[in-house]
Amino acid sequence: MNNVLDGIIIDPGHGGIDSGARGSDLLEKEYNLLISKYMYDRFKELGIPVYITRESDITLNPSDRVNKVLSYFGNNPNVIVISNHLNAGGGDGAEVIYALRNSSKLANDILSSIGNTGQNTRRVYQRRLPSDPTKDYYYMLRDTGRTEPLIIEYGFIDNNDDLKFLKDNYKQLAESVIKAVLEYKNIPYNDPNMVITDTYKVMKGDTLYGIAKKLDTSVDELKKINNLTGNSLSIGQILKVPVLTIEPGETELYQVKKGDTLYSIANKYGISLKELKAINNLKNDNLAIGQLLNVPSGLSLASSYTVSSGDTLYSIAKKFDTTVDKLKDANNLTNNMLSIGQKLIIPLIEDTTYVVKAGDTLYSIAREFNTTVDELKKLNSLVDDVLSVGKILIIK
């Protein structure tokens, strides 16, 4: 194996008029672009020379795509081409296809790394052109010169279990490929979210699930960083523990009040529980009244929201009294796909005022402004339904 890496080319499959395979609420071209752009940004962050064949929803015919690939670094065997796709047609799990001119090493490494995310894996294979078995069936493998190209099928878009996993874990899947590529070329890999700064000593009665829950991580993450192939533990065993790190940003202080929990505070400021604990270097969920916590500056429940499992744009819009279109506009979203942990800007609802006229009631005003009587009373600190002409009401 040649350890020289001159560059990476990311190819989001399909695009434009070619939507690729279809799921219940997702087009393959959308997913391919999403995971590819994440991968592109990460390779740049890691200092690897990288190009991407498309950065938006445009149509590329085979010759356009191949010409782009060969134009970036030339006809170079030290270039890896990653063409991202989704499968369809009945089945589940990931596959990797590699060129006839290359060994299966990188393809196998990638599939194994994808499997470490928890995604099912199927096979690594080659496919020959029926009219000429000396050539690859897929043009991205056949016509890309001496580069080392791979087609990665991350799962089946028409399988509901696969689809949910793909949408919830696209960043982890992308990271698994990045990690495999860098290790293949003997280049150090740095996980963007986790550093191992702590350990845990296994006690009687401990299970991986119990430890993962206690330390706010996952069984898969514990197994991965400790190179565990099974779930067995021994008393006294020392486990490496992943600790979330986040880049420092603008923060302000929040004083814990009676009834506060870490979860309620995290939700209020639109971040995850894990992020709040990382900002404050907390090892457990215990809080004391009066305790000061660092929280993101300028964020509130009305301006930022972190996507949770089961969320949809519709449910989030309903929760914050806005619309799907406004959410998409505020966050520059081109489709309805969300991922767990994604941060959304919530369009702020501006308050206005209304001067009560003769004949007005709380009910008629609520109907006019598409709100409720209870909301009006709460917003204006009203204890009953009595209004006086000329009274100024605050309206959302």
Q: Domain boundaries in the chain?
A: 7-184, 194-244, 251-345, 352-395
CB contact at 8 A, 104 and 124: yes
- Burial 153-185, CB ≥16 within 10 A → b, else e: bbbbbbbeebbebbbbbbbbbbbbbbbbbbebb
Q: Say what the pTM is.
A: 0.54
pLDDT top residue among 277 and 147: 147
Distances (CA, A) of 202 to 116, 205, 210, 230, 239: 23, 9, 11, 15, 7
Average pLDDT estimate for 312-328: 79
Confidence band for 60, pLDDT divided at 50, 70 and 90: very high
Of 24, 4, 27, 3, which Cα lies nearest the Cα of 15? 27
pLDDT top residue among 10 and 304: 10
pLDDT top residue among 375 and 126: 126
Checking if the pLDDT of 258 tops 50, the result is yes
Confidence band for 348, pLDDT divided at 50, 70 and 90: low
Can you tell me the distance from the alpha carbon of 288 to that of 363, in angstroms, rounded to the nearest whole number? 43
Q: Any idea how long the chain is?
A: 396
Checking if the pLDDT of 244 tops 80, the result is no
CB contact at 8 A, 29 and 14: yes
Checking if the pLDDT of 17 tops 70, the result is yes
Predicted local confidence at residue 96, as pLDDT? 98
Q: Do domains 7-184 and 352-395 have the same CATH topology?
A: no
Confidence band for 121, pLDDT divided at 50, 70 and 90: very high
CB contact at 8 A, 284 and 256: no
Query: Is CATH 3.10.350.10 correct for 251-345?
Result: yes
Average pLDDT estimate for 360-369: 85
Q: Which fold has domain 194-244?
A: Membrane-bound Lytic Murein Transglycosylase D; Chain A (3.10.350)
Can you tell me the distance from the alpha carbon of 382 to that of 376, in angstroms, rounded to the nearest whole number? 8
Confidence band for 243, pLDDT divided at 50, 70 and 90: low
Mean pLDDT of the chain: 85
Checking if the pLDDT of 332 tops 80, the result is no
**What is the DSSP pairing of strand 128-129 with strand 94-98?**
unpaired
Q: Which fold has domain 7-184?
A: Aminopeptidase (3.40.630)
CB contact at 8 A, 217 and 242: yes
Average pLDDT estimate for 73-88: 97
Distance of alpha carbon 230 from its chain centroid, rounded? Answer: 27
158-174 residue pLDDT tens: 999 999 899 888 989 99
Checking if the pLDDT of 396 tops 80, the result is no
Letter for the amino acid at 196? Answer: I
Predicted local confidence at residue 1, as pLDDT? 59
Can you tell me the distance from the alpha carbon of 256 to that of 288, in angstroms, rounded to the nearest whole number? 7
β strands within 126-193, DSSP E: 128-129, 132-136, 148-156
Confidence band for 299, pLDDT divided at 50, 70 and 90: very low
CATH class of 352-395: alpha beta
Predicted local confidence at residue 349, as pLDDT? 52
Can you tell me the distance from the alpha carbon of 330 to that of 324, in angstroms, rounded to the nearest whole number? 10
